[in-house]
């Protein structure tokens, strides 16, 4: 089978992104001092609230889970690795008094059936959800596939992302103040969604050329552009349901350049990590706006892209990364197809 046309990189978008120093720890320090109102989060209690945080075993996800648990929320951690998940669980429980409020669920988000099993069990066991933080994302160093033959990064970053959110929206709608916070990478500024790339990822292609040409960083940018587009889709779907009483707020957030195990272990980002390491944000700094969107009182924004507690533009000037409505619908259809590939639970 001939290779699909490759996605093009927006050089102008990439330059505007990588030359922006506000993504470093310097940016968060300046904005915290000049623009943030610490009162927004200082005394917020989440007692009685239930949250799900994916990718909570390390990095930003762990910092978010720790913060929400510290505010009294019942936190459900979704992790793929039992070893890393249990280590994170013990660490978070060690900092709070009500240790039973934090629970670990072992779910591989690249496997649709595991997501379906988790959602079914969660609905039966808990049935209440106020906050969903979609943090999990991967940048593999080589071509891999899930059990259904879908490229593993696509399966996690878009198909699993879509499936988990779509499956949990019905119970989120029952909350008095439901929030969905989607963590994305601003690497999306270098990418316009390329449908042939997404389509190819849904079908096993395991030729020597496919393996040699695999680019984790290129796919990562594509997938996170897709996550922002899916945020728009879910926000619009929630808005259409408001007449039925739903008030779900769905937003995406870029955490800045954060020193996480995922970044440190990404082969394609090795040079970037070494070059800018001392300027990377801490995990807590990266988690700040995620937490702010998850629990700041009176949030009215939905369908927005945030960076450092402020709504930002989703495209860089003249970068050519905007897609049309048809491409968004095709993306949704492809995610539905990938998620439904596993037999229903």
pLDDT in tens, the chain (345 residues): 344 456 778 999 999 999 999 999 999 999 999 999 888 898 999 999 999 999 999 999 999 999 999 999 999 999 999 999 999 999 999 999 889 999 999 999 999 999 999 999 999 999 899 999 999 999 998 999 999 999 999 999 999 999 999 999 999 999 999 999 999 999 999 999 999 999 999 987 666 777 888 888 999 999 999 999 999 999 999 888 765 556 899 999 999 999 998 888 888 788 888 888 889 999 999 999 999 999 999 999 999 999 999 999 999 999 999 999 999 999 999 999 999 976 544
**Confidence (pLDDT) at 1:** 36
Q: Output the pLDDT for position 296.
A: 94
**Are the C-beta atoms of residues 294 and 68 closer than 8 Å to each other?**
yes
- Domains observed in the chain: 11-341 (3.40.50.720)
pLDDT reported for residue 306? 98
How many C-beta neighbours within 10 Å does residue 148 have?
17
Secondary structure string (H, E, C) spanning the chain: CCCCCCCCECHHHHHHHHCCHHHCHHHHHHHHHHCCCCHHHHCCCCCCCEEEEECCCCHHHHHHHHHHHHCCCEEEEEECCHHHHHHHHHHHHCCCCCHHHEEEEECCCCCHHHHHHHHHHHHHHCCCCCEEEECCCCCCCCCCECCCCCEHHHHHHHHHHHHHHHHHHHHHCCCCCCEEEEECCHHHHHECCCHHHHHHHCCCCCCHHHHHCCCHHHHHHHHHHHHHHHHHHHHHHHHHCHHHCCCCEEEEEECCCECCHHHHCCHHHHHHHHHHHHHCECHHHHHHHHHHHHHCCCCCCCCCEEECCEEECCCCCCCCCCCCHHHHHHHHHHHHHHHCCCCCC
Q: What is the pLDDT of residue 342?
A: 63
Can you give the pTM of this predicted structure? 0.94
| pLDDT value for 343 | 53
How far apart CA 124 and CA 121 sit, in angstroms, is 5
pLDDT of residue 345: 40
Instruction: Give CA separation, 172 vs 27, 163, 197, 300, in Å.
Output: 33, 14, 32, 16
pLDDT of residue 344: 45
- Is 220 an active-site residue? yes
The active-site residue out of 17, 162, 220, 305 is 220
CB 243 within 8 A of CB 233: no
């Amino acid at each position: 089978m001939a290779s699909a046309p490759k996605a093009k990189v927006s050089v102008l978008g990439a330059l505007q992104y990588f030359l922006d120093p506000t993504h470093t720890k310097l940016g968060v320090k300046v904005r915290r001092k000049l623009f943030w109102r610490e009162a927004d989060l200082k005394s917020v209690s989440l007692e009685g609230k239930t949250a799900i945080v994916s990718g909570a075993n390390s990095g930003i996800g762990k910092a978010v889970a720790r913060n929400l648990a510290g505010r009294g929320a019942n936190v459900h951690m979704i992790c793929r690795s039992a070893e890393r998940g249990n280590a994170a669980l013990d660490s978070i429980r060690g900092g709070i008094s009500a240790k039973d409020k934090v629970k670990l669920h072992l779910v591989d988000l690249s496997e649709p059936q595991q997501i379906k099993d988790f959602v079914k069990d969660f609905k039966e066991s808990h049935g209440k959800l106020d906050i969903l933080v979609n943090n999990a994302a991967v940048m593999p160093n080589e071509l891999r596939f899930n059990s259904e033959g879908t490229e593993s990064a696509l399966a996690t970053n878009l198909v699993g992302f879509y499936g988990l959110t779509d499956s949990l929206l019905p119970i989120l709608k029952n909350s008095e103040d439901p929030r969905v916070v989607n963590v994305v990478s601003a690497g999306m500024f270098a990418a316009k969604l390329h449908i042939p790339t997404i389509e190819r990822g849904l079908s096993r292609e395991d030729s020597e050329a496919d393996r040699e040409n695999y680019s984790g960083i290129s796919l990562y940018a594509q997938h996170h552009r897709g996550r922002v587009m899916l945020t728009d889709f879910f926000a619009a779907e929630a808005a259409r349901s408001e007449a039925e009483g739903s008030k779900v707020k769905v937003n995406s957030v870029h955490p800045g350049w954060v020193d996480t195990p995922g970044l440190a272990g990404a082969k394609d980002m090795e040079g970037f990590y070494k070059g800018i390491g001392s300027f990377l944000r801490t995990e807590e700094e990266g988690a700040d706006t995620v937490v702010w969107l998850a629990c700041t009182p009176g949030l009215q924004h939905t369908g927005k892209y945030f960076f450092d507690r402020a709504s930002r533009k989703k495209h860089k000037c003249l970068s050519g990364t905007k897609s049309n409505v048809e491409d968004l619908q095709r993306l949704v259809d492809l995610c539905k197809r990938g998620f439904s590939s596993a037999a229903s639970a």
